[in-house]
Amino acid sequence: MSETRDVILSTIRQSLRRGPIYGEARAALEERIRSHPRHLIPSRAGQPPAALIDLFIAKARAASTSVVEVSDRGEIPQAVMDYLANENLPARLVQAPGLHDLDWAAAPTVEVRMGAAEKADEASLSKGLAGVAETGTLLLVSGPENPTTLNFVPPTHLVVLFRNDVVPAYEDAWDLLRVNGTNPRSANFITGPSRTGDIEQKIQIGVHGPLRLHLILVGR
Amino acid sequence: MNHTSDRFIDNSRAALANPVLQAALANLKRGFPINRAEVVADLPEFEELRNVARDIKDHTLDHLDVYLEIYERNVRASGGKVHWARNAKEARDTIMRICRDAGARTVTKGKSMVVEEIGLNEALDASEIRRVETDLGEYIIQLRDEPPSHIIVPAVHVTKEEIGDAFREAHEGLDPTRALSEPADITAEARTRLREAYFSAEVGITGANFLVAESGSSIIVTNEGNGDLTQTLARTHVVVASLEKIVPTMEDAFAILRLLARSSTGQEFSVYTSVSNGPKRSDDLDGPKAYHVVLVDNGRSSMLGTNQQDMLRCIQCAACINHCPVYSAVGGHAYGWIYPGPMGAVLTPSLTNIAASAHLPNASTFCGQCEQVCPMKIPLIKMMRHHRNSAHQQGHGGKVSKFALFFWSYFAGRPALYRTLTGIGVGVLAALAIGRGRLKSLPLVGGWTANRDLPAPEGGTFLTRYRRGER
Ligand code: SF4
């Protein structure tokens, strides 16, 4: 196995007409990784905060994410209940453990289970780490607080995102992880519900992943 | 899959005479290129980002050995295993061994061109393991036992009626009165059927759009969510990727991601861009228990340092295919291998051998659209010329002229089509046709028409209409 590896690496070096890279040259490459410089960021990401929130919401909607705004976290359960009722969906969901302190007393008809998603789950509620304004994209990361299956298995996916967590560009969202020093098993950038154009190029929403993606944006 | 690139002309004739295929290709032409133009116009930095992306990949390829080593180190650090494969057989054997060790009875697969390239499907189908394609397009062609005809929309050549028929034949217990006539019905049926497979698969195989050296992560970009279900729900996740998928950092990946969906389907961003890093952590509630990466060379390390190195920048967005007049006329199967259009015309001869695919670098009108839209600024036309020259030197020239004549006469007979397909102005073609209904030269096969003067059957009519100002 390692022999194969060495053959491939030495073919690469032969083709590039050089030997292995050591010393300063190697250190420069390691430094490029350590400092991970940013490249050109589109100017649309450089707007003032209020305009960025507007951009984020507009782009999310353009990607078929439905968006509702609530002023504080106490209003989340009601917003969930209303959404499920409006869409004629059963008042049941599986919730990310990270949202355990939500007080469901305000939405007593909603049946809530905590954990990862299972085959039969019809709706899930998870928490977004960040919203990326440039394309209306959500970033969700895995962990005991936020199992990945919540993002993909149930046909309806609701996401809670705090306004303060809306950032200009993908790089800003990723920096939130870098700052935490976390390197999650899975990080999902999600822009709208699942879709396909595989049948005669006609866009169909909801193929394998969620049919509905509903964002609850929290804060003033 | 079987390689039929040597039959390109016959394949093309059949394709041109197939009305169903022609309708599908017309659909394709009206879809992706128009969407792309819109989102590109909406991002003023697009052109500059193409330079950035080209430079990132050039830097990476020039130091590919180092970045692969760093990548491998980081995959290990997060609990994953890296396997290296020099060729298709080694890759297949490695993956089959991983599947058997994992006790696989069902394997789910996301869409991956390199997995097609190494012929894994045939190996799985010859074994006792059940293979389930999860990308809707791939699933459709699996049921129909066909190769893909496009790298992004593999079933682009299939009508919804044909899909409905394939489902009825394959799906046991399907209520015969159930409607399967509309895309929505078909999608719902596929969703139900595939759900069972995701949950029962022991192994999930995906490709990767990027491998990130700094963290040892793999990134997949999809719209359906099938790749995510595949890699999250199976006990073992196997990532299969060719060497050149490496980028040093997430910042590098983001820069290229800004171009990928825009160039490909004309979306600003695909629905799912998912970054995976090793197996399930001890406190995770879900995710695969084992994470393997199979790094496939299959001829790429030898392309470095040659006039084919630029092709290793390809991110397989299919923009060149979607804008190619030849692809739009003959579709993907005519190319005889998995990579069609301009990217295939350059890549196939590099990865296979020039003799079998000698026609492909000529499958071009040299209109230059592919280069103009390629987000990675790959000089596709120049690279096709290199291949043509090598083919000529190796004595495959006869086939080459025959091919050129075939395409030349096809487009010469259809100037309006040629104009629509290429976007070349009417005036240019009119000037080329110089009155007498004969085309003196066409930006098609440069040298070929220099000393030949071929009839342009509809040239007169075309010019008359042009003079009347009709378009
Ligand atoms: S050659 Fe360029 S345009 Fe064609 S698929 Fe590759 S990156 Fe896209």
ipTM of the modeled complex: 0.97
Q: Strand A92-95 and strand A123-127: pairing?
A: parallel
Please answer whether residues B280 and B337 qualify as being in contact, where contact means their C-beta atoms are separated by less than 8 angstroms: no
Per the listing, tokens 């599947």 go with: B99
Same domain, A180 and A101: yes
| CB-defined site of ligand 1, < 6 Å | B 314-320, 343, 373-376, 378, 380
- Closest-approach residue (CA) in chain B for A34: B214
Burial B143-176 (b: 16+ CB within 10 A, else e): bbebbbbbbbbbbbbbebeebbebbeeebeeeee
Query: How close is the nearest chain A Cα to the Cα of B243, in Å?
Result: 10
* pLDDT of A101: 93
Query: How close is the nearest chain B Cα to the Cα of A79, in Å?
Result: 24
Please answer whether residues B144 and B158 qualify as being in contact, where contact means their C-beta atoms are separated by less than 8 angstroms: yes
Same domain, A140 and A63: yes
Partner residue facing A148 (CB), from B24, B286, B295: B286
Same domain, A160 and A55: yes
- Beta-ladder partners of B132: B108
Closest Cα to atom 7, ligand 1: which residue? B314
Check the CA dihedral A77-B287-A136-A63 and report its sign: negative
CA distances (Å), B299 to each of A48, B5, B20, B65, B404, in order?
Answer: 49, 18, 36, 15, 28
* pLDDT of B433: 35
* pLDDT of B358: 67
Measured between alpha carbons, how far is B387 from B357 in angstroms, rounded to an integer?
10
Lookup: tokens for B318 = 């299919």
User: Cα A151–B164–B1 angle (5° rounding)?
Assistant: 80
* B296 phi, psi to nearest 5 deg: -105, 125
Per the listing, tokens 């990767």 go with: B208
Q: Which domain holds residue A70?
A: 44-218
Query: pLDDT, tens digit, for every residue of A69-112?
Result: 999 999 999 999 999 999 999 999 999 999 999 999 999 999 99
Using a CB-CB cut-off of 8 Å, the residues of chain B touching A183 are: 78, 215, 277
Same domain, A100 and A144: yes
Please answer whether residues B247 and B71 qualify as being in contact, where contact means their C-beta atoms are separated by less than 8 angstroms: no
CATH number for the domain including A190?
A: 3.40.50.10420
* pLDDT of B406: 58
Same domain, A22 and A72: no
Element (H, E) at B117: helix B113-117
Query: What string of pLDDT tens digits covers the 471 residues of chain B?
Result: 456 767 777 778 878 878 878 888 887 777 889 999 999 999 999 999 999 999 999 999 999 999 999 999 999 999 999 999 999 999 999 999 999 999 999 999 999 999 999 999 999 999 999 999 999 988 898 989 888 888 888 888 888 888 888 888 888 888 888 888 888 888 888 888 899 999 999 999 999 999 999 999 999 999 999 999 999 999 999 999 999 999 999 999 999 999 999 999 999 999 999 999 999 999 999 999 999 999 999 999 999 999 999 999 999 999 999 998 888 888 888 887 788 889 998 898 888 766 667 667 766 777 889 999 999 999 999 998 888 787 777 766 555 455 555 555 555 555 555 544 444 333 333 333 333 333 333 333 333 333 333 333 233 333 333 333 333
Domain ranges of chain B: 75-245+275-296, 301-397, 400-467
* pLDDT of B413: 56
* pLDDT of A50: 93
Q: E strands of chain A, at which residues?
A: 66-70, 92-95, 111-114, 123-127, 130-132, 137-141, 156-162, 166-167, 186-190, 195-196, 204-205, 212-218
Residue B294: Cβ within 10 Å count: 25
Looking at the structure of chain A, the number of domains it has is 2
* pLDDT of B424: 39
**3-class secondary-structure state, position B132:** strand
Closest ligand 1 atom number to CA of residue B343:
1
Same domain, A69 and A164: yes
* pLDDT of B453: 31
Measured between alpha carbons, how far is B162 from A43 in angstroms, rounded to an integer?
46
Does the pLDDT value for residue A157 go beyond 90? yes
Same domain, A60 and A121: yes
Closest Cα to atom 8, ligand 1: which residue? B317
- Determine the topology of domain B301-397 in CATH: Fumarate Reductase Iron-sulfur Protein; Chain B, domain 2 (1.10.1060)
Same domain, A23 and A125: no
pTM of the model: 0.89
DSSP for B13-40 reads HHHHT-HHHHHHHHHHHHHHHHHHHHHH
Query: How close is the nearest chain B Cα to the Cα of A158, in Å?
Result: 15
Same domain, A18 and A55: no
Closest CA to B349 of B412, B297, B391: B391
